[in-house]
Structure 1
Amino acid sequence: MEDAWRDEDENVASMFGSDEDSGSQIPTQAQSLVEGSGAVMVSELKPIADVDYLQELLAIQQQGPRSIGFFGTRNMGFMHQELIEILSYAMVITKNHIYTSGASGTNAAVIRGALRAEKPELLTVILPQSLEKQPPESQELLSKVQNVIEKPQNDHLPLIEASRLCNMDIISQVQQVICFAFHDSRLLMETCQEAKNLRKIVTLFYLD
């Protein structure tokens, strides 16, 4: 991770497009905020240009450590990944247990941040398929994670279907969901809706 923040145009996210633009880009996960009473509150951010949004994210945590599921697009700029890495680090050092998957983009940033916190027991990565199905760069990062759960029984499924099952598994194990997505990231939106249906606290950040 570089020492200095890199200047990026505030519209950097739009240069990458959404997860739906390419068949090879499978979205990983999703959300939007639900309190237990059923009242729905959605946190929404436009393309992130500075670190101010970290205050908004950290304000989510009001009631002590939780199990938190991180979901998000693979397609995001360098600054977004740095900020997510910092958020993940902050969540782990405050004793939250982080759950995520093993894709590039959001998931990789979450994993890097959690690893920096040096509390390996507070990071769980659930893969949609077996480890061998992950790209080489993901396998290298995952080799540093203590708790990796593989799903070889899903190897015969298309990745998007395996990812949908993986997302549901993560949701079932967490109290809160944080997601970074584009408005047309269909799998992420479905995941958020499922989390809301299960009365999870869900916060969705839009990148477009």
Structure 2
Amino acid sequence: MSQSVDIPTLDTLTQELAAIQQTGSKRIALLGSRHVPITHQQLIEMMSYALVLSGNRIMTSGATGTNSAAIKGAMRADPNLVTVILPQSLERQPRESQEQLRQVIHLVENPENDHLSLGEASAICNREIISRCQQLICFAFHDSHTLLHTCQEAEEQRKLVTLFYFD
């Protein structure tokens, strides 16, 4: 039984080479699962910190886990280079996230989505984040449907996507 292997197109390879060679800052979206072991959160925090120290702007959402770790690292490096876009209003975010989110300078709330389920609001929020970034770094499980769909949408928009799986 043969397996299908995705072979990168010349366009994709050219895009990736250009991204690697690009000097200067980029707008990088860091998204991922809420359910992340603490050691993984620490690695994500260090990556976010390093990306911001290199002059990049980090964009993420406000959930616990991956996004919280990305915010923590980026804020430690330079709070002015962090943008957090919430799927709903600040009041609808988990209580443990609200204190951290109140410290974010560039915080975008979406109270018009408060009537939606968190999954629906998150999908809309992820689309907005993708529209504003040049690159997406995503941490997901193989059954993280919303995140995997976000990665697919980013690729369709010709964004550079790096996907890490926890499982």
Q: TM-score, normalised by structure 1?
A: 0.71
Please name the residue that 1:12 is paired with.
none
Taking the TM superposition and a 5 Å limit, the aligned residue runs for 1:188-203 are 188-203=147-162
Equivalent residues in 2 for 1:50-199, closer than 5 Å: 62-64=21-23, 65-117=25-77, 119-199=78-158
C-alpha distance after superposition, 1:84-113 (max 9, x if no partner) = 000000000111000000000000000000
Residue identity in the other structure for 1:114: A
Kept after mapping to 2: 8 A contact 1:35/1:199: no
Q: Letter of the aligned partner of 2:131 in structure 1?
A: S
In 2, the alpha carbon distance for the partners of 1:172 and 1:83 equals: 26
Q: Deviations over 1:47-98 (max 9, x none)?
A: xxxxxxxxxxxxx854222000011001111110000000000000111000
RMSD (CA atoms): 2.0
Structure 1 runs (4+) deviating above 6 angstroms are none
Give secondary structure in 2 for the equivalent of 1:129.
coil
Summarize deviations over 1:108-151 as a string: whole Å, max 9, x none.
0000001110x222100000000010111110011111110000
> Structure 1 pair 115/180, CA: closer, same or farther in 2 (3 Å)?
same
Q: What is the CA–CA distance in structure 2 between the aligned matches of 1:121 and 1:61, rounded to whole Å?
A: 24
1:37 aligns with 2:11: yes
Alignment of 1:8-23 (within 5 A): none
- Pairwise CA distance, 1:38: 3.5
Identical amino acids, percent of aligned pairs: 56
Identify unmatched segments of 5+ residues in structure 1. 1-33, 42-59
The alignment partner of 2:62 has SS state of coil
Structure with the larger RCO, 1 or 2 (CA within 8 Å, 6+ apart)? 1
Aligned residues, how many? 156
